[in-house]
Amino acid sequence: MNTEIMRVSAKGQFTIPVSVRKKFNIREGDYLQIWIENDEIRVKKVEPIQPLSPEDPIWKLIGAGESGYSDVSTNHDRYLAAGENKRWKE
């Protein structure tokens, strides 16, 4: 395991070493997730979720099911809960 020591600035910032940025392809504007695990600070590069474009083929599937409900997208959780309640009572 290669380790490097960095100094934290007055603003709580530090520079990610070039070797680490290259290995994980970290560039300006990228997002990093930071969390605490036991007595360690962990960092992971994450890709932000991009909204679907209007041309995405998934939109053709919305409403294609045969539930008989026209508001499934807004009441999805309610319908799932009602189905589970019904199943538990049977």
Q: What is the pLDDT along the chain (90 residues), one digit of tens a residue?
A: 678 899 999 999 999 999 999 999 999 999 999 999 999 999 999 988 877 888 888 877 776 777 777 777 777 788 788 888 888 887
| Cα–Cα distance for residue pair 26/9, rounded to 1 Å | 20
Contact by Cβ (8 Å): 59, 52: yes
Domain ranges of the chain: 57-89
| Cα–Cα distance for residue pair 9/13, rounded to 1 Å | 5
